[in-house]
């Protein structure tokens, strides 16, 4: 007979699935039966992964499966939090650790919804789907080092983990690493379009742009001892082609200023979403 679950994950959507795949690789399902996944519409591929890892799936929470619970991980949309809290709050054991990966739900809101106790906000990004996320954690005062290590363990299965103490910084985290993958995709699109404008066929231009960005990222990752600026200087010969392009991008601080304004807009938007109305 399977033991009672110690950990429950709510939501097997994009982020929940990424976590589950990472947990399978990192043995986070051990011991058998310790993880319960709750989602009303679990895709078959994920149900299979859950079965293969001796975990369990349910469509809705049941009080009898919550008695030994130590950790609740919330990977549902922020709009679903209130409804979910109303259902599960009466079932939660005292001092259960609540970890939320929802963008923009504050620790104060979590405490109001789920009650006082150890709560941790985590901001991962979509690269969790390939185990290359960077996640930032922020804990409330009830969460101790053991709780933070627990949260870190679940999130390290999908990439790197950092933490901040000042929760106000989570808006900037959201703007840099949460939204950041889209900035990279835009860069690839724009570079490809620029190549096309110079006469390259569309497919080739997009392929050159994409593989150049991926290759440059991989080189940067392999050269951890160098700063990004040093690597940029190394590949920029004075008076050469790269230098001609960088002069345009960096002239009058244009690129830096655009990025500064973009991240500032995303930070502002994140704080507005936290305080509706």
Ligand X SMILES: NC(=O)c1ccc[n+]([C@@H]2O[C@H](COP(=O)([O-])OP(=O)(O)OC[C@H]3O[C@@H](n4cnc5c(N)ncnc54)[C@H](OP(=O)(O)O)[C@@H]3O)[C@@H](O)[C@H]2O)c1
Q: Are 108 and 123 in contact (CB under 8 A)?
A: no
Q: What are 27's two structure tokens?
A: 């043995």
Binding to ligand X by residue 12, rule CB under 6 A?
yes
Residue nearest to ligand X (CB): 13
Of 7, 8, 15, 157, which lies in the binding site for ligand X, with binding defined by CB under 6 A?
15
Q: What are 205's two structure tokens?
A: 């231009």
Of the pair 46, 205, the CB lying nearest ligand X is at: 46
Q: Are 136 and 103 in contact (CB under 8 A)?
A: no
Find the shortest distance in angstroms from Cβ 101 to ligand X. Answer: 5
Span 81-110, contacts to ligand X by CB under 6 A: 84, 101-103
Number of residues that bind ligand X (CB under 6 A): 24
What number of CA atoms fall less than 13 Å from residue 71's CA on the CB side?
A: 24
Angle at 79 between CA 75 and CA 80, to 5 degrees: 55
Find the shortest distance in angstroms from Cβ 178 to ligand X. Answer: 6
Helices then strands, counting H and E runs in the chain, come out as 11, 8
Of the pair 44, 198, the CB lying nearest ligand X is at: 44
Per-residue binder mask for ligand X (CB under 6 A), 178-197, x = binder: x-------------------
Binding to ligand X by residue 138, rule CB under 6 A?
no
CA torsion 84-88-94-99 (nearest 10°) is: -30
Q: Could you tell me which stretch among 21-29, 77-85, 147-155, 203-211 binds ligand X (CB under 6 A)?
A: 77-85
Of 40, 199, 238, 251, which lies in the binding site for ligand X, with binding defined by CB under 6 A?
40
Find the shortest distance in angstroms from Cβ 88 to ligand X. Answer: 8
Q: How many CB atoms lie within 10 A of CB 170?
A: 26
DSSP state of 100: E
Q: What are 19's two structure tokens?
A: 């976590």
Q: What are 252's two structure tokens?
A: 């009058």
Binding to ligand X by residue 80, rule CB under 6 A?
yes
Measured between alpha carbons, how far is 131 from 118 in angstroms, rounded to an integer? 26
Q: Could you tell me which stretch among 9-17, 195-203, 252-260, 267-275 binds ligand X (CB under 6 A)?
A: 9-17
Q: What are 105's two structure tokens?
A: 């739900």
Binding to ligand X by residue 75, rule CB under 6 A?
yes
Binding to ligand X by residue 156, rule CB under 6 A?
no
**Segment (H or E) for 52:** helix 44-52
Binding to ligand X by residue 41, rule CB under 6 A?
yes
Interface contacts to ligand X, rule CB under 6 A: 10-16, 38-41, 75-78, 80, 84, 101-103, 124-126, 178
């Amino acid at each position: 007979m399977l033991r009672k679950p110690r950990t429950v994950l709510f939501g097997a959507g994009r982020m929940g699935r990424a976590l589950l795949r990472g947990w399978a690789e990192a043995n986070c399902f051990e011991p058998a039966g310790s993880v319960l996944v709750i989602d009303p519409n679990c895709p078959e591929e994920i149900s299979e992964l859950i079965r293969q890892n001796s975990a369990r799936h349910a469509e809705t929470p049941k009080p009898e499966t919550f008695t030994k619970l130590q950790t609740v991980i919330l990977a549902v949309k922020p709009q679903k939090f209130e409804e979910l809290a109303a259902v599960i709050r009466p079932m939660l054991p005292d001092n259960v650790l609540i970890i939320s990966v929802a963008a923009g739900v504050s620790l104060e809101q979590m405490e109001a919804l789920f009650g006082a106790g150890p709560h941790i906000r985590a901001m991962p990004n979509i690269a969790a789907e390939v185990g290359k996320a960077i996640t930032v954690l922020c804990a409330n005062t009830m969460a101790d080092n053991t709780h933070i290590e627990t949260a870190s363990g679940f999130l390290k299965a999908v990439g790197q983990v950092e933490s901040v103490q000042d929760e106000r910084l989570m808006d900037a985290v959201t703007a840099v690493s949460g939204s950041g993958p889209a900035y990279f995709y835009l860069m690839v699109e724009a570079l490809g379009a620029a190549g096309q404008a110079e006469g390259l066929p569309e497919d080739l231009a997009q392929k050159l742009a994409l593989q150049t960005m991926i290759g440059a990222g991989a080189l940067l990752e392999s050269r951890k001892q160098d700063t990004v600026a040093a690597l940029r200087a190394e590949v920029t010969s004075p008076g050469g082609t790269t230098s001609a392009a960088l002069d345009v991008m960096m002239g009058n601080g244009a690129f830096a200023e655009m990025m500064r304004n973009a991240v500032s807009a995303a930070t502002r938007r994140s704080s507005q979403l936290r305080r509706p109305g």
